[in-house]
């Protein structure tokens, strides 16, 4: 645990651990509530894993996929996560598609990334493009999901961001100002008292930008609400059929998206919105800056040669820069 005293009466503290197959970083503005926040986070993330993991035989998502073509009763948590994924598909007209589970399995991504990388290089599978508009046929009820026959849901594009938003909002409702990062999907929790203005003002959280977790930071931005996400083809990759592949699939081809951008970072109203934009940008390639600008989404894109493109007011230097503000 690290603790820092800052102006505004806040005593910041942070902690980190692993969950959902990635790293978790949790910071709170009141160090006296860090243990409470972490305990709540561990319980909530365990529930998300049990509901939403594609790699657990006992998860609700696995049961829903095995029952494709029929309604399957599931925890409402999975319904909420799938709803967020369908919103992402709607926003991107299917570029971010939650029905890519079979495409990912064909690429060899059928277990945690560590297990996939440890395997010998298997022959390449036949690419499986998404069934056109299958995501529109996903059915949701309060406690049930209908996966279209011949498809499988995968929440990899939005799942961690959904969990980050869920946790940040939960802690904020408990009066805990916080920042949550799940594998780089970042969400800010603003308690109602701070949102309404109780004299202390919003909490400014410094966020360092790097292409990979262990890389030196290239920039620092400040967030006081909303979310930020980074998608990259550099981290989650493996070998298949003698070539390197990654997890960001173009639903039109069933293959990894062509590498125009190696990293995209976006600030948006929540982590899911930010991650939706970063994932779409990787798939859209050269069209990504225009797509982001049309939606006024501040973004930093790094191409395969290291060139940087800034969109919609993303700061150009490494001064402490405001981000995520109205």
Q: What is the pLDDT of residue 7?
A: 47
Q: What is the pLDDT of residue 133?
A: 93
Q: How far apart are the first and last CA of the chain?
A: 32
pTM equals 0.89
Q: What is the pLDDT of residue 239?
A: 66
Q: What is the pLDDT of residue 23?
A: 94
Q: What is the dihedral sign for C-alpha 97, 98, 104, 106?
A: negative
- pLDDT tens over the chain, length 326 residues: 444 445 456 789 999 999 998 999 999 999 999 999 999 999 999 999 999 999 999 999 999 999 999 999 999 999 999 999 999 999 999 999 999 998 888 777 666 766 656 667 666 666 678 788 999 999 999 999 999 999 999 998 899 999 999 999 999 999 999 999 999 999 999 998 877 655 445 788 999 998 777 778 889 999 999 999 999 887 666 566 666 665 778 888 878 878 899 999 999 999 999 999 999 999 999 999 999 999 999 999 999 999 999 999 999 865 444 444 32
CB atoms within 10 A of CB 82: 28
- Nearest-10 Cα torsion for 299, 19, 194, 87: 50
Of 265, 266, 246, which is closest to residue 257 (Cα–Cα)? 246
Q: What is the pLDDT of residue 210?
A: 83
Q: What is the pLDDT of residue 235?
A: 67
CB atoms within 10 A of CB 66: 12
Write the pLDDT tens digit of every residue in 293-306: 999 999 999 999 99
Q: What is the pLDDT of residue 317?
A: 64
Name all contacts of 126-129 with Cβ < 8 Å and 24+ positions apart: 127/103, 127/253, 127/254, 127/255, 128/102, 128/103, 128/254, 129/103, 129/251, 129/252, 129/253, 129/254
């Amino acid at each position: 645990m690290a603790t820092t005293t800052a102006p505004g009466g806040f005593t910041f503290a942070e902690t980190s651990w692993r969950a959902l197959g990635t790293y978790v970083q949790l910071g709170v503005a009141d160090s006296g509530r860090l243990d409470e926040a972490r305990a709540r986070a561990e319980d909530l993330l365990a529930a998300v894993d049990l509901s939403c993991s594609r790699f657990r035989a006992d998860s609700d998502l696995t049961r829903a996929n095995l029952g494709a073509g029929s309604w399957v009763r599931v925890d409402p948590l999975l319904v909420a996560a799938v709803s967020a994924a369908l919103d992402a598909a709607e926003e991107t007209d299917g570029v971010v598609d939650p029905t890519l589970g079979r495409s990912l399995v064909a690429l060899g991504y059928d277990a945690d990334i560590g297990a996939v990388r440890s395997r010998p290089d298997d022959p390449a599978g036949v690419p499986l493009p998404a069934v056109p508009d299958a995501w529109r046929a996903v059915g949701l009820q309060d406690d049930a999901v209908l996966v279209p026959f011949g498809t499988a849901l995968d929440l990899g594009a939005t799942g961690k961001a959904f969990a980050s938003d869920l946790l940040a909002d939960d802690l904020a409702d408990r009066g805990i100002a916080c920042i949550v990062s799940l594998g780089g999907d970042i969400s800010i929790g603003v308690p109602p008292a701070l949102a309404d203005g109780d004299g202390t003002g919003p909490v400014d959280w410094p966020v360092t930008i790097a292409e990979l977790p262990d890389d030196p930071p290239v920039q620092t931005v400040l967030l006081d609400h909303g979310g930020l996400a980074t998608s990259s083809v550099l981290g989650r990759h493996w070998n298949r059929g003698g070539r390197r592949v990654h997890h960001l699939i173009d639903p039109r081809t069933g293959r990894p998206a062509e590498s125009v951008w190696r990293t995209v970072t976006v600030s948006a109203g929540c982590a899911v919105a930010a991650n939706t934009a970063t994932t779409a940008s990787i798939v859209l390639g050269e069209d990504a800056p225009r797509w982001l600008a049309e939606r006024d989404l501040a973004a930093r894109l790094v191409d395969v040669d290291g060139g940087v493109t800034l969109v919609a007011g993303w700061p150009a230097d490494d001064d402490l820069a405001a981000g995520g503000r109205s």
